[in-house]
Amino acid sequence: MPDFKTVQRGYVAQDKSQLTADGQQMQSITLKTERFCVPEVLFSPSDIGINQAGIAEAIVQTIKKCPDVFSEQLFQNVIVSGGNTNFRGFKQRLEHELTALRTVEVPINVMVVDDPNTAVCSGLKNLSSSDCFAEHCVTKDDWAEQGSRAFLKCIL
C-alpha cells in the first residue's frame, strides 16, 4: 500500500518479506469477500443503496431507446472497455445477465477490447484524426433544434 512518502503507488507484492525503500516491512491487505463485493456493485448497485440500473440493465435500456431495427445488431455487438472489464469472469457475467434481460430472442455477443484500459482514448484519437470526423459531429444548435434525431442522422 502507498504511504505517500516513500511509496507513491500501491502494487501487489510478490513476496511478503519485501521491504520498502526505507527498510520497513511492506504493508499488505488480504482481500476476502471484497474481491467479489466490489465488482458486484457494477451489476447490482442497490446492494449498497444506490437506486440505479446495473451495467446490464443500462445496456438493455440503451438498446430499447434505439430504433427496433437495430436491436438485434446491438445485442450481437456489445463492446466493453475500461479497467473493470479486467475483473475475472466479467464478460461471462455480462453475457449471462444480458441474456436474461434481452427483449428480443437473439444471441448475445459481448466483446472485450484488446487493451480495455486505453481503448476509448485510442478510438477517439483515431476518430478525431479521420477525414470523416466532421460527418459524425452534432452542433449545439442542431441538438437544441432536433434533439437525438440530429445524432441519428450522423450514424445512418
Judge whether residue 49 has pLDDT over 60: yes
In this prediction, residue 152 carries a pLDDT of 75
With bands split at pLDDT 50, 70 and 90, how would you rate the model's confidence at 47?
confident
C-alpha 146, offset from chain centre: 29
Answer yes or no: are the C-beta atoms of 127 and 145 closer than 8 Å: no
Helices (H) and strands (E) in the chain, counts: 7, 2
- Axis crossing angle, helix 34-43 with helix 90-101, rounded to the nearest 10: 40
Phi/psi zone of residue 12: left (φ > 0), alpha (ψ -120 to 50 degrees), beta?
beta
Mean pLDDT of 121-126: 87
pLDDT in tens, 76-100: 999 999 888 888 889 999 999 999 9
Give me the domains of the chain, ranges plus CATH numbers: 54-155 (3.30.420.40)
Judge whether residue 139 has pLDDT over 80: yes
In this prediction, residue 138 carries a pLDDT of 84
Per-residue exposure over 58-78, b if at least 16 CB sit within 10 Å of its own CB, e if not = ebbeebeeeeeeebeebbeeb
- Axis crossing angle, helix 55-65 with helix 90-101, rounded to the nearest 10: 50
Exposure on the CB side of residue 73, measured as CA atoms within 13 A: 5
